[in-house]
A and B are shown apart, each in its own frame.
Chain A
Amino acid sequence: MNQSTKTNSTKKESTENDNSQANARTISSILTAPELAEIDHEISHAPTRSAVAIDALKIVQKHHGWVSDESLSGLADYLDMSTAELDGIATFYSLIYRKPVGEKVISLCNSVTCWIKGYAQLEKHISRQLGVGLGETTTDNRYTFLPAPCLGACDRAPVMMVGEETHLDLTPEKINQILEIKGGQQG
């Protein structure tokens, strides 16, 4: 356990000598009590703290929408890992967001069957309606638009997810309804 970094980073904020208490306070200013409870639950049935790295990143993301530098280093401390090691894991996995995203992520499947069934047209449609390209977030922060690998519903292609909802048999009209695009532009 890297006790020295923990002590250094918490000293300024604490007048107490008890490092573990000070550390707990710093962590709780970065990660909320419900987050910590969920992470602790994962740790309770894992052989090491770092084993829950991916679960913990997902928990943080569930609560904040993404994983900020601050969350990442707080979490790394909490899991007895270096920040670099945890960032290496976070950036490997495509569904851990290291940049802020909008309230909901639109994941449009770009894999083979959806491609055959008109992915390119739908991508253009969404871009035009929302005024964003793939990888971008709308100015009102409602949506971030991302491509997704096959979503496992190819018999109902084209497919997208908006947040946790899966939408099937997409057409431009259906997309307008789902995204609540009022009086959407044609085409």
Chain B
Amino acid sequence: MISKLPLTQNINAARDPVNLEAYEANHGYQAARKAVLEMSPDDCLQVVKDSGLRGRGGAGFPTGMKWSFVPMNTDSQGNNVSDGHKYLICNADEMEPGTFKDRLLMECDPHQLIEGMILSAWTIQADVAYIFIRHEYHFASKLLQDAIDACYAKGYLGKDIFGSDFNLELYVHSSAGRYICGEETALISSLEGKRANPRAKPPFPQISGLWGRPTIVNNVETLCNITHIIRNGAQWYKTLGIGQDHGTKLFGVSGRVKNPGCWELPMGTPIRELIEQHAGGMQDGYKLRGFLPGGASTDFLVEEHLDLAMDYDVIGKAGSRLGTGTMIILDDKTCPVGMTKNLVEFFAQESCGFCTPCRDGLPWSAQVLDDIESGNGIPADLNTLQNQVRFIGAIGNTIVL
């Protein structure tokens, strides 16, 4: 019986994290072995494309399409020939306030991620991979490193993995702070040992990324999904979602609800089920005033949106974004202006300082919100905020309620 909640099937908070032995006892590394020995990279790419998987890092970009831009050098017989390194990077920076899903996956089942990375690296024919993890996740880093060491010892990583002629080196890189590192081009700068300045696109990382070589950056949860998609197939994966999007996803709730936490649910699950059933509804004495559906950079939604399906396009049409799927609840006893100020202060502090609207506009907006919160606001402040939002673009949307 194949689990309908594959990402968390091995996860039990009351137990120790899954080690290599336990992981293998539950079909672990069978997909990676099969892919590397029996499937072509093209076959794998087709399965991922057919699955309809969309990136779980926040933007929901179709993973198969993203990978298809990586140049595959093949000779006249269709065999892959290497002309230098290609890189796969797992984005484990998880610094978007309100987000706590990748930590769970890494702390409870590190091999699921490693197997997903082997499969992804095989598909794009990357020979070097990194897990770029935020510094504070000490426990996850150590667990991943131990799991990686165990894989090297068994020949699942390194040279000629699973007895094939495919080589893959996998390193854990622990970051040194700064939210901007999570943006994929900034992450690449940081991995090169530089300041984490974002880079202009194009060229896209798929063509010119780390050290100018083809590079794919994917979120932890995206890569974990790959394990199950290759293991059980695209058709199976498509049966998991109950709305427009396919598969399952980790959804979370934090704030003044009775039972804050993180759950794996089918894509398309109504928001109401997440907040009222799984998170237990509001704490006694508090009412729901609004919520950010997927982290600090997503726009507020309100009660009338509770019956929307948690699908990327549905939440997009409602004027927000599904983002990371971890919801932050605004209750009726928390000041919305204060909360917005807190969000803006975060972005002001974490701005990489490269572009003026963000570097100067955010502290200005925070100041205006401070005035409003302390009762010194003037009507023109609203215009100021709206102008700032126009300048900043996507991230700025958070600051207009």
Q: Which of A95, A148, A153 contacts B103 (CB 8 A)?
A: A153
Contacts of A134 in B (CB 8 A): none
CB atoms of A111 and B296 under 8 A apart: yes
Residue of chain A at shortest CB distance from B353: A92
Segment of A2-10, A15-23, A50-58, A136-144 in the binding face: A50-58
- Which positions 26-59 of chain A face chain B at CB distance < 8 Å? 45-48, 50-55, 57-58
CB atoms of A155 and B176 under 8 A apart: no
A24 at the binding interface (Cβ < 8 Å): no
A187 at the binding interface (Cβ < 8 Å): no
CB atoms of A112 and B342 under 8 A apart: yes
CB atoms of A164 and B138 under 8 A apart: yes
CB atoms of B97 and A112 under 8 A apart: yes
Q: Which of B98, B169, B292, B346 contacts A45 (CB 8 A)?
A: B169
CB atoms of B176 and A57 under 8 A apart: yes
Would A50 and B195 be within 8 Å (CB), given that A152-B134, A154-B100, A154-B328 are in contact? no
Cβ distance A36 to chain B, nearest Cβ, rounded Å: 17
- Which positions 111-142 of chain B face chain A at CB distance < 8 Å? 134-138
Whole-angstrom CA separation of A88 from B328 in the bound complex = 35
CB atoms of A113 and B176 under 8 A apart: no
Segment of B57-65, B252-260, B301-309 in the binding face: B252-260
CB atoms of A113 and B211 under 8 A apart: no
Contacts of A55 in B (CB 8 A): 173, 193
Most buried by B among A48, A53, A116: A116
Would A54 and B255 be within 8 Å (CB), given that A111-B98, A150-B97, A150-B98 are in contact? no
Would A93 and B97 be within 8 Å (CB), given that A47-B211, A152-B137 are in contact? no
A151 at the binding interface (Cβ < 8 Å): yes
- Which positions 186-226 of chain B face chain A at CB distance < 8 Å? 190, 192-196, 211
Instruction: Determine the interface band of chain A, counting residues with CB < 8 A from chain B.
Output: 35 or more
Instruction: Determine the interface band of chain B, counting residues with CB < 8 A from chain A.
Output: 35 or more
Q: Which of A57, A89, A154, A156 contacts B194 (CB 8 A)?
A: A89
Cβ distance B188 to chain A, nearest Cβ, rounded Å: 12
Whole-angstrom CA separation of A113 from B256 in the bound complex = 9
CB atoms of B342 and A115 under 8 A apart: yes
CB atoms of A116 and B255 under 8 A apart: yes
CB atoms of B339 and A112 under 8 A apart: yes
Encoded as 1 (CB less than 8 Å from any A CB) or 0, chain B from 90 to 115 comes to: 00001111111011000000000000
CB atoms of B253 and A155 under 8 A apart: yes
B178 at the binding interface (Cβ < 8 Å): yes
A186 at the binding interface (Cβ < 8 Å): no
CB atoms of A155 and B138 under 8 A apart: no
Contacts of B382 in A (CB 8 A): none
CB atoms of A150 and B135 under 8 A apart: no
B350 at the binding interface (Cβ < 8 Å): yes
Whole-angstrom CA separation of A94 from B252 in the bound complex = 27
CB atoms of B195 and A92 under 8 A apart: yes
A161 at the binding interface (Cβ < 8 Å): yes
CB atoms of A112 and B296 under 8 A apart: yes
Residue of chain B at shortest CB distance from A156: B260
Cβ distance A39 to chain B, nearest Cβ, rounded Å: 12
CB atoms of A53 and B193 under 8 A apart: yes
Q: B: which residues have CB within 8 A of A?
A: 94-100, 102-103, 134-138, 169, 171, 173-179, 190, 192-196, 211, 252-256, 260-262, 292, 296, 326, 328-331, 334, 338-339, 342-343, 346, 349-350
- 15 further contact pairs, Cβ within 8 A, besides A89-B195, A107-B136, A152-B95: A50-B193, A52-B193, A54-B190, A57-B176, A88-B195, A89-B194, A111-B98, A112-B343, A116-B329, A117-B255, A150-B98, A154-B99, A154-B254, A155-B261, A161-B136
